[in-house]
Amino acid sequence: MIMNNGSVRYLIFFQYLGTKYSGVMKAPPHQAVKGVQNYLEDAVRSLKPVNEVSLSISSRTDTGVHALGNSAHFDLQRQNGKPPFAEEVLVDALNFHLRPEPIRITRAYRVPGGFHARFRAVSRTYVYRLATGITHHSCTPLTDANLCWGLRHIDLDVGAMRDAAALLVGTHNFSSFRALNSETPFKDPVKTLEKASLELGDAFVHKHFHRDIQFWELTFKSRSFLYKQVRRMTGALVAVGQGQMSVSGVKELLEAQDSQAYPHNLTSPPEGLFLTRVEYHQSEGQRGRSKGSQ
């Protein structure tokens, strides 16, 4: 796995709380608020490699969105012909240089020189956390501040939300659920959503914080997603749960295949969204194991 120039390619998995960052992608030098990638690349540079440092992130997340299992690859060549870092040593060294940022490397693997973290990923899983019974933002427990979407009403029509979520599973044109950006003309809106589920969530505060707050988790899994697709799907499903949209309304929205058909101010906020897992084929896993975020 050592390339001709003596460098080694590593695949890393990492976590972050996205509240203070411009997103995961690198921000330009003139921008005051940096991206997670800026700090990751600075940490790699602190290891004093011979080569120029450049990370390729597998999954883009926006400002305020968190990750428990994003991934990236980069090449590293040590000075004076030193042997490559062992994977465990690399994890510890990068985490040392990332302090005190809320960014953590969880695992590292040496991979072939042709491996690409983004294009070799076979699935990505996102979880969106909802908290019902939050009548004011100050009601959100500190342990969950900026880590969930607080909804005023305690009751959600869970059955209707699950029926609507089931309509999204499968291969569809998801144009209605994507926000427009500069990449829109180049992105195929047809995606295969493997999973869209709603389950009861949990939180540390349930045992210690005596308020009528209920946590829910929406889980979405696909090989890839369109820009803000998960947050738009979440917003529509919550609208169904609150009686603001019917299940058939979600079906009609999906069939419209038009981003302009999506109602204004319905997109869910970023703080409840977590990228929880990026997976690769077993053949590309370490010691025959499939790589994920756990």
Residue ranges of domains in the chain, CATH in brackets? 8-115 (3.30.70.580), 125-277 (3.30.70.660)
Is 126 assigned to a binding site? yes
Whether residue 226 has pLDDT greater than 50 = yes
Helix (H) or strand (E) holding 22, with range, is none
Q: What percent of the chain lies above the pLDDT cut of 70?
A: 94
pLDDT of residue 45: 97
Whether residue 67 has pLDDT greater than 90 = yes
Q: Give the model confidence (pLDDT) of 97-144 as tens digits.
A: 999 999 999 999 999 999 999 999 999 999 999 999 998 888 888 899
CB of 56 closer than 8 Å to CB of 70: no
Q: 3-state class of 169 per DSSP?
A: coil
Q: What gap in Å lies between CA 161 and CA 170, rounded to an integer?
A: 17
Give residue 288's pLDDT band: very low, low, confident or very high (50, 70, 90). Answer: very low
CB of 104 closer than 8 Å to CB of 14: yes
Q: Mean of the pLDDT values across residues 222-238?
A: 97
Whether residue 285 has pLDDT greater than 60 = no
Between 30-39, 153-162, 209-218, 283-292, the lowest mean confidence (pLDDT) is in: 283-292
Task: Kindly state the DSSP code that residue 159 receives in the 8-state scheme.
Answer: H
pLDDT of residue 287: 35
Other beta carbons within 10 Å of 155: 12
Other beta carbons within 10 Å of 211: 12
Whether residue 282 has pLDDT greater than 80 = no
pLDDT of residue 140: 87
Task: Kindly state the DSSP code that residue 196 receives in the 8-state scheme.
Answer: E
Active site residues per annotation: 62
pLDDT of residue 291: 53
Q: pTM value? A: 0.93
Residue type, 100: P
Q: Give the model confidence (pLDDT) of 41-52 as tens digits.
A: 999 999 999 999
Q: Mean of the pLDDT values across residues 167-179?
A: 97
pLDDT of residue 89: 98
Q: What percent of the chain lies above the pLDDT cut of 90?
A: 81
What are the beta bridge partners of residue 13? Answer: 71, 107
Radius of gyration of the chain (CA): 20
pLDDT of residue 207: 72
Q: Mean of the pLDDT values across residues 52-60?
A: 96
Whether residue 66 has pLDDT greater than 90 = yes
